[in-house]
Structure formats: structure tokens, C-alpha cells
């Protein structure tokens, strides 16, 4: 028996005919598998990616697997905030509703430098882009309520450190340290957003999908350590198809409808008390993120608007 049969608790039989879901980073890996599962349950699925050829291929794979032709691909580059804003604008213009948003984009090995948006590149790809997209799409999610947001995080978050005054700096953290910081920030932002949107009908969750059989550590410079860590993943990790059941469970299952703001692992609540403990940090992270992202008065929904 697999040591990872505990993930069977992520099984759900809920159908989702008529629902609309956006999955960022949906052209491969966890995002692609989650898109396949949701489409097979009747969901209209919108996947995002940086390359049209990969989007077209993923749409074909999802449609063939699910026998659902209602699959859409949208281009976005998380290294460019204008691209993220364009995605949000296009989605609001094209979609009368959005029931599910799965923030799945993530990458390790991103260069430790500032982007043209004056943000740390690793933090922008793994955190700021998801924050901005979710913030901009919240009015549509609220209009579509009950709706759900799922931030895909990582167990690496337990090694993360978030100081809003320094999180955007370069040449401070290791590459893996930056990744861990970003994944922790995704959890803290889910906790804080849940508080700020209480009563809206929009539930916000974060999720560690667990160890997955991938070459996740391929960007490490230490060849011996890289081979060792990747071999452990292939021995103890679950398949991507198994891991993808977790975000689908959080997106659809009624058992978690009252658990907004919680963090999950193996489809059970995991460490939420610790992540929610420092309320001042969570508030500061939220406000600093809005400041760095230059949220405009027209985009604002949780603070005073200029008149």
C-alpha cells in the first residue's frame, strides 16, 4: 500500500456543471491536472500561461480527457504587472461570473533581481502576481458568490520569513529562501483576505499539495544535493494526478465551506493557528503589498477611495 493513501480523503463526488474556474499556470503539472478534473465535472475552465503553443496544447489535453470543449486559454506573464492587469480586465469583460480562482503559478530558480515593476522577480512571480490578480478579480468573485479562491502554497512555507519592509529586497535571501518567503506570503494573504471579505460569500483557502514526483529541485546549483532531493521526491512523493485532487476538493466540496482563511494539507486543516497568530504582520503584509503593486483608486475595494 502507498504511504500516500492518506490523500484519498481529498476525493469528492461534487459535480460543477455551470461553474466557471480560472487556474493560473494551467498548462502543465498540478494546474493542468486540476483543470482536467474540474472540466470533467462540467466546469468551464480558463487556464493561463505565458506561451500560446503551450496553452493550445493544454486545451487539447483537457478537452480530450474531460470530453468538455468549454476550455479557454488566456496569456499572462506574471513578470509583468500590466499583463496581470490585462488578464483581470479581459476576464471581467468576457465572463459574467467566476466561481473558482486557483492561484497555482509558481516557479523556483527565478533570478534574484528587480523586475521593470520594481519588484523582486521571485516574489513577483510567486506572490505579488497572485495577490494582484485576486485583488482585481474580487468584485467578480463577490458577484458570483458563493465562490472560492485557493492559493497553492508549499511546505517550504515553514522555512519562510516575511518582513514586509524587506521582502522586496534583492541579494538578501537565497533562491530557495525567496521561494519559501513567497509561499508563506500566499498563506498569510489568504488569512488576511478572508477577514477583510467576511460576509461577502467569497471563501479563501491556502493549500500545501504535498510532495510530488517531480524534479522540483532542478535549479539547485549543488548537483549532488539536487540529485539527492529529487530522488527523495520520486520515492516518497505522490503523482501529480493524486496531488491535483486537493485543489479540486477545496474548490468544490461543501465540507470546507465554513473554513475560509484556513490552510490545508492532505485536505485537512494544517497550521492555521500559527499562520493567523500575528495579525499585525498579516495586516502590514496586505497594506505593503497594495502599496508596492500601486493599487489605484479605481481598483480599490477595501479602503477609502479618492473623490
* Residue 2 scores a pLDDT above 80: no
Q: What is the tens place of the pLDDT at every residue in 71-91?
A: 999 999 999 999 999 999 999
Q: What is the mean pLDDT of the chain?
A: 91
Q: Is the pLDDT of residue 94 over 70?
A: yes
pLDDT category of residue 304 using cuts at 50, 70 and 90: low
Q: For residue 221, what pLDDT is reported?
A: 66
Cell of 266: 492532505
pLDDT tens digit sequence for 253-269: 999 999 999 999 989 99
pLDDT at 280 over 80: yes
pLDDT at position 3 is 34
Please give the backbone phi and psi of residue 132, each rounded to the nearest 5 degrees, phi first.
Answer: -65, -50
Q: How many CB atoms lie within 10 A of CB 214?
A: 16
- Mean pLDDT, residues 218-241 taken together: 76
- Of 210, 213, 250, 212, whose CA–CA distance to 102 is shortest? 250
Phi-psi sector, 273: left (phi>0), alpha (psi -120 to 50), beta: alpha
Q: Do the beta carbons of residue 225 and residue 276 sit within 8 Å?
A: no
Identify which has the larger pLDDT, 176 or 71.
Answer: 71
Q: What mean pLDDT comes out for the span 36-47? A: 98
Q: Using CA atoms, how far apart are residues 250 and 273, in angstroms rounded to an integer?
A: 19
Which pLDDT belongs to residue 223?
78
| 292/106 Cα distance (integer angstroms) | 20
Q: Given this model, what pLDDT does residue 4 score?
A: 38
Per-residue model confidence (pLDDT) at position 285 = 98
Q: Which amino acids are annotated catalytic?
A: 179
Separation between Cα atoms, residue 86 and residue 78, nearest integer Å: 11
Percentage of the chain exceeding pLDDT 70: 93
Q: Exposed, middle or buried by CB within 10 Å (0-12, 13-18, 19+), for 271?
A: middle
Of all residues in the chain, what percent carry a pLDDT higher than 90?
A: 76
> How crowded is residue 169: how many other Cβ atoms within 10 Å of its Cβ?
14
CA–CA gap between residue 215 and residue 212 (Å, rounded)? 9
Amino acid at each position: 500500500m502507498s504511504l500516500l493513501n492518506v490523500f484519498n480523503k481529498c476525493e469528492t463526488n461534487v459535480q460543477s456543471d455551470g461553474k466557471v474556474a480560472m487556474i493560473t499556470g494551467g498548462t502543465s503539472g498540478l494546474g493542468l491536472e486540476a483543470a482536467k478534473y474540474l472540466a470533467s465535472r462540467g466546469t468551464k475552465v480558463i487556464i493561463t500561461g505565458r506561451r500560446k503553443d503551450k496553452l493550445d496544447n493544454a486545451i487539447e489535453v483537457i478537452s480530450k480527457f474531460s470530453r468538455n470543449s468549454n476550455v479557454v486559454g488566456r496569456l499572462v506573464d506574471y513578470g509583468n504587472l500590466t499583463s496581470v492587469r490585462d488578464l483581470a480586465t479581459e476576464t471581467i469583460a468576457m465572463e459574467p461570473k467566476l466561481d473558482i480562482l486557483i492561484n497555482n503559478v509558481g516557479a523556483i530558480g527565478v533570478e534574484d533581481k528587480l523586475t521593470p515593476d520594481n519588484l523582486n522577480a521571485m516574489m513577483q512571480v510567486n506572490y505579488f502576481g497572485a495577490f494582484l490578480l485576486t485583488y482585481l478579480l474580487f468584485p467578480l468573485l463577490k458577484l458570483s458568490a458563493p465562490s472560492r479562491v485557493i492559493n497553492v502554497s508549499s511546505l517550504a512555507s515553514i522555512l519562510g520569513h516575511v518582513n514586509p519592509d524587506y521582502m522586496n529586497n534583492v541579494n538578501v535571501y537565497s533562491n530557495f529562501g525567496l521561494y519559501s518567503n513567497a509561499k508563506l506570503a500566499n498563506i498569510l494573504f489568504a488569512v488576511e483576505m478572508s477577514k477583510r471579505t467576511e460576509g461577502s460569500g467569497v471563501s479563501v483557502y491556502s493549500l500545501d499539495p504535498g510532495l510530488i514526483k517531480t524534479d522540483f529541485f532542478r535549479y539547485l546549483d549543488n548537483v549532488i544535493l539536487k540529485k539527492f532531493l529529487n530522488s527523495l521526491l520520486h520515492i516518497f512523493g505522490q503523482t501529480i494526478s493524486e496531488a491535483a485532487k486537493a485543489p479540486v476538493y477545496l474548490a468544490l466540496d461543501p465540507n470546507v465551506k465554513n473554513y475560509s482563511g484556513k490552510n490545508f494539507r492532505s485536505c485537512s486543516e494544517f497550521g492555521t493557528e500559527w499562520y493567523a497568530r500575528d495579525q499585525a504582520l498579516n495586516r502590514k503584509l496586505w497594506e505593503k503589498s497594495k502599496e508596492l503593486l500601486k493599487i489605484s483608486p479605481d481598483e480599490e475595494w477595501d479602503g477609502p477611495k479618492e473623490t
